[in-house]
Structures are given as structure tokens and as C-alpha cells.
Amino acid sequence: MRCNLIARRSKPKLPADFDPAIYLELNPDVAKAGDDAALHYLSHGIKEGRRYRHNSQEFSAALTGVANRFCSNPPKAQNIVDIFDGEWSSAMPTADLAARPGHAQLFDDHRIKFAQETIGPFGGMTLLELGPLEGAHSYMLHGYGANVVAVEGNQRAFLRCLCVKEIYGLSRVRFMLGDFVEYLETSGPTFDAVIACGVLYHMTNPLRLLRAIVRRTDRVMLWTHYYDDKLISKRSDAHLFSIDENTRELLGPYDGMRKSYAQEALDWSGFSGGQEAHAIWLRRESIGQFFRDHGYEVIEGRDEPDHPNGPCITLCARRRD
């Protein structure tokens, strides 16, 4: 995913210390026009840089802002986690954490265990991980004895990965910030395996990613949501899926559907999707067929047709001799 993130579409809000009377006092032209102070500030004042506090209040706010840049607690792992309070997806191992963030059990994930059993063991291997999110799978792969290069395009997710690396001492993991498709398409080393968990269904051109992956490795672990007419039609978000000629032309012999992100997902500070407001979900059959067409044996793992976020499949692919 590229470094630029999807722009948040939330409306501007009044500052907590906004006082209509002070705003009108400092902006007499607004008072003279009889405009509502709050409405004027939101529609014009923010853009025009108008003041809404007296100098003494602004100075006090500036001091508070400086103080908020520092941590006054003794050094501990919880201080690191709290930097991104409210953004974490992963439930972390204890590591002396008073409050474990997130909820997803990504630090003990059956998908990575399946990969270890199917295309591993990973001890001594050099792996490429795409979209590590918060480093939970990197943690597991490190525990298996692998050397890991992990490429993340979401800037805040990348910083959370660095937090996890520091908390758990992931000495054989290198996190890189950038677009992993661009990375794969440049000349570079091959890898013993590529781990692509939770990234394919965020791509606007999923075949481009798959083609780039098979050029750099003989072993792939993939977990992704997929499109299925019957399963998707029963979901409350079925209206977010559509098909057009551009999508059909892009996919060629394979099949899939375009999915738009829901607005609430785009507005969440911890959003971890793609760089555009939509992505393309391939059909399950098309994913397996792509690998077979490129000389791989496909080993399917757990299929979850009733997953709350949409049907999904875990699979591994190994290039045939």
C-alpha cells in the first residue's frame, strides 16, 4: 500500500474550549453581521485562521500541547502502547501490559500456524511479509526462527509495528515503510516464502499483486476474503459490491467484484484498508486457478464462509518441481 492514506471524510468539529461570546468579541465583523458564532467558525473561521481565544488562553493551550508531547511515567511497555490508544486491532501478549489493546487474536493465529505446517518449517528461512499491520504475525514468524522483511504502506500501522518490535525484541524482523507492490516489482532478492495475510482483498488490482508475488518466491501463504454470489447476497453490506466493464477488463480470464469501503471504516482512526475508496474481491475459484496457471500446487486450509467480515479462505501454494 502506498504511503498516502485515504482522506478522512469527517466534518470539522468545534474545539472543546470554543466560546461563542469570545469569538464574537474577537471578530466584530461577524457580530455586526449577526452570524451565529459556531456556524461561522465551522464554515469560515477555521479556513481563515480566525481566533476564538484570548492571548492568555492561547498561551495556556500551547503549554498544554507541549506537555502532552512528554511521558511522565517510569519507562514501561504500556507507555508505548498508549501512544496509539484507540487504534490497535491486535490483542497483545501480556508483556507487563496493564491494559491489552485491540481484540483480534493475531499474535496466536491459526493461519500462520497453518503456513508453518504447510510450507515451513520457517526456521532459518528468509520471509517477505506483506502488510504486517501491527507486527503480530511478524512476532509469530520470528518465534519460528525466521528472518523477516515486512513491508507496510500505512504510516501509522508502520509506527505501531515499530512499537511491537521494541516491546518484544524482534531482532530478526526488519520493518519497511512503502508500497509492497512497488517493492515486489523492482529488482531484488527472492524469498523462501511470501506471507500475504489480509492484503489481497484491499487491492484495486489484485492480479498485479499476485503476479508480483510469484516472480519472487516459490512458496506463498495467502489469507483473503473472496466474493461469492450466494454468500454475499445474504449480507447487510451486499450493496457495497458492484461490477463494471473496467473490472471485467482488468480481471481478464479471472472473476471478481468491486467493493466500496463503508464510510464508518474510512472514518476510523485505525483504518487499515487500501489506498483507494474501493477494492476488488476475487472469487475463491479464481484465486486457486491463478496459482495453478502459474505452476503452483494449491493447498487449501480453513474456509470460513460465515466470517463476520465476509467469506474468507486460508491457502498455501508451492511451486511444482
Predicted confidence pLDDT, tens digits, the chain (321 residues): 434 443 344 467 888 888 899 889 889 999 988 999 999 989 888 888 888 887 766 666 655 555 567 888 899 999 999 999 889 999 998 767 876 788 899 999 999 999 999 999 999 999 999 999 999 999 999 999 999 999 999 999 999 999 999 999 999 999 999 999 999 999 889 999 999 999 999 999 999 999 999 999 999 999 999 999 999 999 999 999 999 899 999 999 999 999 997 544 444 344 445 556 789 999 999 999 999 999 999 999 999 999 999 999 999 999 998
| Cα–Cα distance measured from residue 51 to residue 23, given in angstroms and rounded to the nearest whole number | 7
| Residue 39 sits in the same domain as residue 114 | no
pTM exceeds cut of 0.85: no
| Residue 146 sits in the same domain as residue 280 | yes
| Residue 169 sits in the same domain as residue 251 | yes
- Assess contact for 23 and 37: CB atoms under 8 A: yes
| Residue 158 sits in the same domain as residue 305 | yes
Does residue 72 form part of some domain?
no
Q: 311 is in which domain, residue-wise?
A: 110-319
| Residue 123 sits in the same domain as residue 250 | yes
| Residue 188 sits in the same domain as residue 259 | yes
φ, ψ for residue 238, nearest 5 deg: -60, -30
Q: What is the β-pairing status of strands 193-197 and 126-130?
A: parallel
- Assess contact for 251 and 227: CB atoms under 8 A: no
CATH code: domain of residue 117:
3.40.50.150
DSSP string, 192-238: SEEEEES-GGG-SSHHHHHHHHHTTBSEEEEEEE-B-HHHHHTSTTG
* Sheet bearing 256-260, strands edge to edge: 241-242, 256-260, 278-282
- Assess contact for 316 and 217: CB atoms under 8 A: no
| Residue 40 sits in the same domain as residue 120 | no
Which sign, positive or negative, has the C-alpha torsion 230, 231, 232, 236? positive
| Residue 35 sits in the same domain as residue 171 | no
Does residue 182 form part of some domain?
yes
Number of domains in the chain: 2
Radius of gyration of the chain (CA): 24
| Residue 39 sits in the same domain as residue 150 | no
Does residue 75 form part of some domain?
no
Side chain identity at residue 47, one-letter code:
K
| Residue 132 sits in the same domain as residue 274 | yes
| Residue 121 sits in the same domain as residue 198 | yes
